[in-house]
Structure 1
Amino acid sequence: MKFDNDFFNTEVREGFEISSMMKRAWAAQMEVFQVVSDICNRNGIRYFADFGTLLGAVRHKGMIPWDDDIDISLMRDEYNELIRILPGELPYGFVVAGMYADCERLQNAAFVPQLRVIADEELWDFNDYMKYFHGFPYQRAGIDIFPLDYISKDKEFADMQKQIIKLGMEILGKWNELNREGSLDKFVSEFGQLCNVNIELREDTKNYIWKLIDKVSSLCYRDEADYVSSMALWIDNDSYKMRKKCFDDVIEMPFENFVVKAPKNYDEVLKAEFGDYMIPVKGTADHTYPFYGHMEQELIKQIRRVGFKGSVDEFCEEVASGRLRV
């Protein structure tokens, strides 16, 4: 993917300053996005830009100035198909992270209820990584991929799903605390009973619980539902749902310097997600901005360790261009 050199300049959009490093983060994630998009297109799998990425496409024709990640969603059957084919379709250097990863290291790389595709730092030479990802120096550039699941018209069934998903996520979120209190086994056993399985505490138990949550989320079929949602968000907000027909048709929308796919009825989707979505609201991310902030000081130490005297931005430019190898 090609970007004009000016793209990486610090810029003010909508009164918000976007640093050169954030521009590099955007470009790195767009490279991963392009890889996933190409795989979906080759295999007839529909995806949709979603959450801040969809809002950015509609309102800004690109990234929201104060956003720092890329999200897409797929209907559950296509999401499952993508999980199945990704290991064989991803080019070298890119891997699945999260519950469906093939090793504990990558499972722990995304402790979330969705799939991630990332650049695996163990498969890249740092200099090649910097060149491919436009001088972005932080590990594991990637995107989030969410399933859209059907919400049952049977309220009792839907409430049962909600109870199981909520308990599972609470256990995972408080794992260490429950373990210290000596109540972890009790809660895990209760969760297993709700899922009609016996769960023993082992090294892979957390990942097993993630997979059970994902399975329970997908229990309802299209003909049993009028609405769809991202279950991890719906369990705490009943109004967070969209009519299933919102995702029947796909359109293309400009996004920075390429094109993304979006639900044709994006208005209903964005109203469910953001309310009056055309009014910008800064600082609404569900994580610390920027996502790489906790790694900045270590990067500076590494730059000084190799003897480079210039700024971080200068270092990134020199390595990305090939003028400096470390």
Structure 2
Amino acid sequence: MQFTQDFFKPEIREEFEIQAMMKRAWAAQMEVLQVVADICEENGLQYFADGGTLLGAVRHQGFIPWDDDIDICLKREDYNRLISILQRQLPYGFVMSGMYAGTVRLRMAANVSHLRVIADETLWNFNDYMKYFHGFPYQRVGIDIFPLDYIPVEAKLADIQKIMMIQGMNLLENWTTLEKAGKLEESLQEYEKLCNVRIDRQNTKNGLWKLTDAIASLCHKEEAEYITNYIYWIEKDSYKMKKECYDEAVMLQFENIQIPVPAMYDEVLRAEYGGDYMTPVQGAADHDYPFYGHMEEELKKQIKAVGFDGSVEEFCQEVSSGRLWV
């Protein structure tokens, strides 16, 4: 993927300053997106920009200035196929992380309810990593991939599904606290009784993640009028869209590429952000900005350890250009 040198310069957008490192993060994630997009196209899978990435495409024709990640989504049937396909077709250097990853290390790398595709640092030489990802030095750059699931028309069934999801997510969120208090096993047994299942105690937490994912997928398309991301719907009942919103995709500009969005994106954005979604609101991210902030000091120590006498940005420029080998 090609970027002009001007792309990586600090910039003010919507009265918000975007640092050069964030531009590198954007470019790096777009490279991961391209890997996933190619696999989707080769296998007839339709993905859509989601969340802040969708809003950015519609409102800014690129990233929201204060956003730092890429979100995409697929309807459940395509999402499940993608999980299977990625295991076989991801190019060397890229892996799935999260509950469906093949190793404990990669499952723990994304303690979330959805799929992530990341660059696995154990498969890259640092210099090659820096060159491929446009001088972005932080490990495990990746994108978030969410499933879209259907809400039962019958309200009673929808409520039962929501209760099972909420209790499962609460268990996961309070896992460590319950474990320290000696109440984890009791809570697990109560949840098993609610769901009428047995969770494998050899891989308990990941089994619970998979169970909540299975619960979200219980309703089929023909049994529903609305589609949603269950993780958001259990917290905000209005976060649901007519399932027809995702029948077709249209292409919109996103920085220097085109990205597919749901053809009925107005209804989708209204459900998530409200009717005034075209009015920018800073500071609306659901995680710390920037996502790599906690790694900055460690990077500075590593730069000093290799004897480089310059700024972090100069280091990134030198390594990614091949002028410096570390």
Q: TM-score, normalised by structure 2?
A: 0.99
Contact 2:200 2:207 in 1 (8 A): no
Deviation at 1:291, TM superposition (A): 0.2
1:216 corresponds to? 215
1:48 corresponds to? 48
Contact 1:135 1:316 in 2 (8 A): yes
Deviation at 1:180, TM superposition (A): 1.0
Contact 1:185 1:201 in 2 (8 A): no
1:219-238 to structure 2, matched below 5 A, reads: 219-238=218-237
Separation in 2 of the partners of 1:138 and 1:191? Answer: 38
2:13 corresponds to? 13
Separation in 1 of the partners of 2:270 and 2:236? Answer: 14
2:116 corresponds to? 116
1:100 match: secondary structure: coil
1:244 corresponds to? 243
Question: What amino acid maps onto 1:85 in structure 2?
Answer: I
Deviation at 1:199, TM superposition (A): 2.7
2:79 corresponds to? 79
Separation in 2 of the partners of 1:133 and 1:200? Answer: 39
Separation in 2 of the partners of 1:164 and 1:240? Answer: 18
Separation in 2 of the partners of 1:231 and 1:163? Answer: 11
RMSD: 0.7
Gaps of 5+ in 2: none
Per-residue CA distance 1:56-76 (angstroms, 9 max, x = gap): 000000000000000001000
2:204 corresponds to? 205
2:161 corresponds to? 161
1:100 corresponds to? 100
Deviation at 1:198, TM superposition (A): 2.1
Question: What amino acid maps onto 1:246 in structure 2?
Answer: C
Separation in 1 of the partners of 2:182 and 2:198? Answer: 19
Matched, 1:132 2:96: no
Matched, 1:298 2:298: yes
Matched, 1:29 2:29: yes
2:218 match: secondary structure: coil
Separation in 2 of the partners of 1:163 and 1:118? Answer: 32
- Structure 1 ranges of 4+ moved more than 3 A: none
1:274 corresponds to? 273
Deviation at 1:230, TM superposition (A): 0.3
Contact 1:59 1:278 in 2 (8 A): yes
Contact 1:24 1:134 in 2 (8 A): yes
Q: Which moved more, 1:265-274 or 1:191-200?
A: 191-200
1:189 match: secondary structure: helix
Matched, 1:260 2:269: no
2:250 match: secondary structure: strand
Contact 2:73 2:148 in 1 (8 A): yes
Deviation at 1:200, TM superposition (A): 5.1
Separation in 1 of the partners of 2:78 and 2:200? Answer: 31
